Chain A
Amino acid sequence: MTNLFLLQLLNGVQLGILLFLVAAGLTLIFGIMDFINIAHGVLYMVGAYLVATFAAMTGTFWLGLLIALPAVVAFGLFLEFFLFRRLYDRSHLDQVLATFGLMLILTEGVRMIWGSSPIFVPVPDALSGSIRLLGIINYPVYRIAIIAAGFAVAIGLYVLISHTRAGMLLRAGASNRPMVSALGVNITWLFAAVFAFGAMLAGFAGAMVAPVLSVDPGMGESVLILAFVVVVIGGIGSVKGAFVAAIVVGVVDTMGRTFGPILLQMVLDPSAASQTGRTLAPMLIYILMALVLAIRPSGLFGRRGAA
């Protein structure tokens, strides 16, 4: 049981890390530009497809990743320049409509270029197989690498945001936009930079999970809602909140599915417990979100009254 618990904990953290990478960009873009980007999940998908393509072309995952990241950034900037820039001062509803449209276009575009069938990305040789942790559990090396990479990004983001001038601008921008322009910062450039950065994080997440998950045209959509859940639970604009919420969502979802039915069996008879567990399991994160928002209407680390 302890083994299982540890394994599930690791799994939960890994899922959380993945969600964090996608949600971090989303929450920054949201908080600083007050911009709802429904198409953010597409960047994650594009990251996965690009790494798949470049890895196949170069023959190694690492080289593929190295080329894919700047490519995603370039793609993000392209979108920013041609579309998003025109939407910053529009209402949230307009943003939702336009970026939803963009999501449809890009998802279909991916289907047209790469087809509907899932495509394959090999696990890099150096990280294949699994190792023994704490002497009791086997865990895939690649997943440990994902967790490590995610934590590295999280720490990097923390340093960037709390200890650099750029980070100070970001924080200031998230809480008080007029102030940033008052500081004489070129808002246009700052926004583009934030956007490129968010795109890179999402693309990086997509690239990292490509060897683990199915790379198919539905992958962006499925992660998007989860990322939004994370952003909202964490509090819009808060990277720290996104990190905490992502880990919580990952762990609750993974652990709840495994241990929920076991816990239910203590209070219900087995068949009722399994039925209830089956009904509740997919709702878990939504229940979690509803609970958090019912108690803290602006999320865990959100500013009160922010929207």
Chain B
Amino acid sequence: MSAASSATEPTAPRVRLLSRTVAASAIFVLMALIPVVSHLSDDPFLTLAFTRILVFAIAALSLDLILGFGALVSFGHAAYVGFGAYAVGVLMRHGVTDIFVQLACAIGLSAVFAAITGAIALRTRGVYFIMITLAFGQMAYFFFTSLSAYGGDDGMSLQNRSTVLGSDVLESNLVLFYVTLGTLVGLYLMATAIVNSRFGRVLQGTREDALRMQAIGFRPFRYQLAAFMIAGCMASVAGVLLANQAEFVSPAYMSWHRSGELIVMVILGGVGTLLGGIVGAVVVLLLEEWLSIFTTHWRMGLGLLLILVVLFSPKGIGGIFERVFGPRK
């Protein structure tokens, strides 16, 4: 996975950091203005649609944390989004509507699943790792598909959104949007902190070469496992929000197509930049919506874009931005 290792080469780190911060702030501010646009254009739908995009941005961000900084290409990452969604759906069914309880369950379940499957998967490398994570993701998918009591394959629709300490503020699309945006910003800051922390440094060192890390006294496994668990838990937060956005929970959220889509978002946006995952999610989802207006063969347009990006911008869309706006070497 040499792309991963070269993607974050910190040329003139400070300048880069500054431009990242500026870019991140710009993106988040633009996002925050969506409801205003939505209001001005009398188009309430826009807010809700962008909420979904933000949710996937969270999921892509969490994947970028392990894919971009740990070279751990998880092909089962959508499972955690599903865990989050089912934590909401199942608890709702049993009358537990508080979002904090749901979040706690989602995160707990994800941590346990990630710990177990990660411990096994991290024995493998490269493509083997990709495939073994796919296997675990598929197991989770089929498990929920067979859960007749909770709708099985049909999924289940929610009667209401989650409550926050007894209040139903999330019923407002506007509130849900800003809660989601706030979560995204919070998790982005958290992920940035993690990447720059002692832990993040070890993780990135391991990405470059696990053997070298051992040679200076680290045991990479535990750091990779911890990162794998953190990313899973973050993705499950996205799942909790997705269930609230769609007001529907379905095993389709955890299929391998979704995991693949997340990987595509991260690579397209630019691996190992954190912001790249977010940009990738926004671009892929907007493009999908936009292209599908013109033709039911919209997948062809998406495919073309992917190929063009790979051929002409090896660092993803983030690379294009960097070339245009970023500091020159």
Contacts and interface: CB of A to CB of B under 8 A. Distances in A.
Do A and B share a direct contact in the complex (Cβ within 8 angstroms)? yes
Interface of A: 30, 36, 83, 86-87, 90-94, 96-98, 100-105, 107-109, 111-112, 225, 228-229, 232, 236, 275, 278-279, 282-283, 286-287, 289-290, 293-294, 297-299, 302, 305-307
B12 interface: no
A104 B304 CA distance: 8
B3 interface: yes
Interface stretch (B14-22, B91-99, B117-125, B165-173): B117-125
Contacts of B256: 225
A100 B129 CA distance: 19
B135 interface: yes
Contact of B310 (A97, A108, A278, A298): A97
Given A97-B309, A279-B142, A290-B132, A103 B127 contact: no
A116 to B, nearest CB: 9
22 contacts: A90-B3, A91-B4, A93-B73, A94-B3, A94-B267, A97-B306, A97-B310, A98-B306, A98-B311, A101-B306, A102-B303, A104-B300, A111-B297, A225-B134, A225-B256, A228-B131, A232-B128, A236-B128, A279-B143, A293-B124, A299-B128, A307-B127
A148 B48 CA distance: 57
Contacts of A87: 310
B1 A91 contact: yes
Main secondary structure of the interface of B (DSSP, over half): helix
B108 interface: no
A98 B312 CA distance: 11
Interface residues of B, number: 44
B314 A283 contact: no
A94 B270 CA distance: 11
Most A CB contacts (10 A, CB to CB) among B120, B127, B268, B271 go to: B127
A105 B298 CA distance: 9
Contacts of A36: 127
B299 A104 contact: yes
Contacts of A229: 131, 135
A204 B73 CA distance: 32
A105 B304 contact: yes
B3 A101 contact: no
Interface of B: 1-4, 73, 120-121, 123-128, 131-132, 134-136, 138-139, 142-143, 145-146, 256, 260, 263-264, 267-268, 271, 297, 299-300, 302-307, 309-311, 314
Of the candidates A107, A108, A299, the one having the most CB atoms from chain B within 10 angstroms of its own CB is A108
Contact of B146 (A279, A298, A302): A279
A92 B300 CA distance: 22
A109 B303 CA distance: 11
B211 to A, nearest CB: 10
Contacts of A91: 1-4
Contacts of B123: 293-294, 297
B299 A290 contact: no
B132 A90 contact: no
Given A97-B264, A293-B132, A107 B120 contact: no
A243 B134 CA distance: 22
A283 B139 contact: yes
A158 to B, nearest CB: 24
B120 A283 contact: no
A307 B128 contact: yes
B223 to A, nearest CB: 18
A229 B267 CA distance: 23
A146 B271 CA distance: 43
Contacts of A83: 307
Nearest to B131: A232
B24 to A, nearest CB: 23
Contacts of B138: 283, 286
Contacts of B306: 97-98, 100-101, 104
Between A97, A107, A294, the greatest number of chain B beta carbons within 10 A of the residue's beta carbon is seen for A97
A94 B145 CA distance: 32
Contacts of A103: 303
B299 A94 contact: no
Give the most central of A96, A275, A302: most B CB within 10 Å: A96
Given A232-B127, A283-B139, A289-B132, A97 B297 contact: no
